[in-house]
Amino acid sequence: MANIPKKVVERFTRSTVRFQKVLQIAKDRDVNESDTVSILNDILGEVLGYDKYLEVTSEFAIRSTYCDLAIRVDDKVQFLVEAKAIGIGLKDIHMKQACDYGANHGVPWVILTNGITWNIYKIRFEQPINYDLVCTFDFLALNIRNEKDQECLFMLSKEGLAKKAREEYYEKVQSLNRYVIGNLIIGESVLGLLRRELKQLAGGMKIEIPEIENIVRNEVLKREIVEGDEAEAAKTRLNKFYKKKLLSRKTKKESVPQPISISEPTNESVTEKLLREAKEE
């Protein structure tokens, strides 16, 4: 994650505590959706650094339906915000509704929130359309001294857009998860390392990699880690990484100039050459 500018951290520190108080009061009073959206508009401006008059709009129509809020910077919609009343818990149906908004307009980043719980999704424009939960946090529980909480806010902030913070955060989430780690464990390099250590432990006894893989798959890892859509996505990601790594090594090897062998000039005849070569054989 890119370093967060000091002035941004200071703004987070100053404004987050204020809105934690506001949200708690709103929760106690069980304010409606309209009031929740109004508070969210202020959070986007005072905490996340957007101009709430020029860069945040509630008049963004998607197929004749208006989403609650849209964040537009440099004439491009950066986030769609689907809001629910502060007293309503976020459910799968809300998430689908929010992601459908993004998919229908080609906006990959979507925020679903009731002011307290914030879920940030990235839509994958594939067949069928899919999405990843990139980050989730409870605004009332945020501790701005905590680096992870700072990262969550920064990836949503205007300054974070310029530093591609959300893309970096997404890449980290995609790499550091149980499915990727599980597929790394059953990968050739890790299984080879396990085989070497087990052979030493067993005093040189013959141990084959398929034996180890079978135990790891069926007795060490949970089945869901190595099977199913998420596991396949992790496997595909790793295969692309290894392929890119192999190609990079090959390109480097080919780009290294090979030493040119310069033979000494000789007056040796063909006959003498043949006799010498036969002798050498």
pLDDT over threshold 50, residue 39: yes
pLDDT over threshold 90, residue 73: yes
Q: What is the pLDDT of residue 66?
A: 59
* pTM beyond 0.85, yes or no: no
Q: How confident is the model at residue 253 (pLDDT cuts 50, 70, 90)?
A: low
More confident residue, 98 or 37: 37
Token pair listed for 213? 């893989």
Q: What is the pLDDT of residue 221?
A: 81
Q: Are 57 and 78 in contact (CB under 8 A)?
A: no
Rounded mean pLDDT of 76-103?
88
pLDDT digits (tens, 9 = 90+) for 133-179: 999 999 999 999 999 999 999 999 999 999 999 999 988 877 766 76
Q: How confident is the model at residue 277 (pLDDT cuts 50, 70, 90)?
A: low
Q: What is the pLDDT of residue 260?
A: 47
pLDDT over threshold 80, residue 275: no
- The region of weakest confidence among 30-34, 46-50, 53-57, 193-197 is 193-197
Q: What is the pLDDT of residue 85?
A: 94
Q: In the chain, where are the structural domains located?
A: 6-166, 178-248
Mean pLDDT across the chain, nearest whole number? 83
More confident residue, 47 or 106: 47
Please state, for a pLDDT cut of 90, what percent of the chain lies above it. Answer: 43
pLDDT over threshold 80, residue 257: no
99 half-sphere exposure, CB direction, 13 A CA radius: 20
Q: How confident is the model at residue 267 (pLDDT cuts 50, 70, 90)?
A: low
Q: How far is CA 18 from CA 12, 21, 22, 24, 142, in A?
A: 10, 5, 6, 10, 12
Q: Are 144 and 13 in contact (CB under 8 A)?
A: yes
pLDDT over threshold 50, residue 261: no
Tell me the three-class secondary structure of the chain, residue by residue. CCCCCHHHHHHHHHHHHHHHHHHHHHHHHCCCHHHHHHHHHHHHHHCCCCCCCCCEECCCEECCEECCEEEEECCEEEEEEEECCCCCCCCHHHHHHHHHHHHHHCCCEEEEECCCEEEEEEEECCCCCEEEEEEEEEHHHCCCCCHHHHHHHHHHCHHHHHCCHHHHHHHHHHHCCHHHHHHHHCCHHHHHHHHHHHHHHCCCCCCCHHHHHHHHHHHHCCHHHHCCHHHHHHHHHHHHHHHHHHHHHHHHHHHCCCCCCCCCCCCCCHHHHHHHHHHHC
- The region of weakest confidence among 146-150, 173-177, 235-239, 267-271 is 267-271
- What CATH code would you report for 6-166? 3.90.1570.30
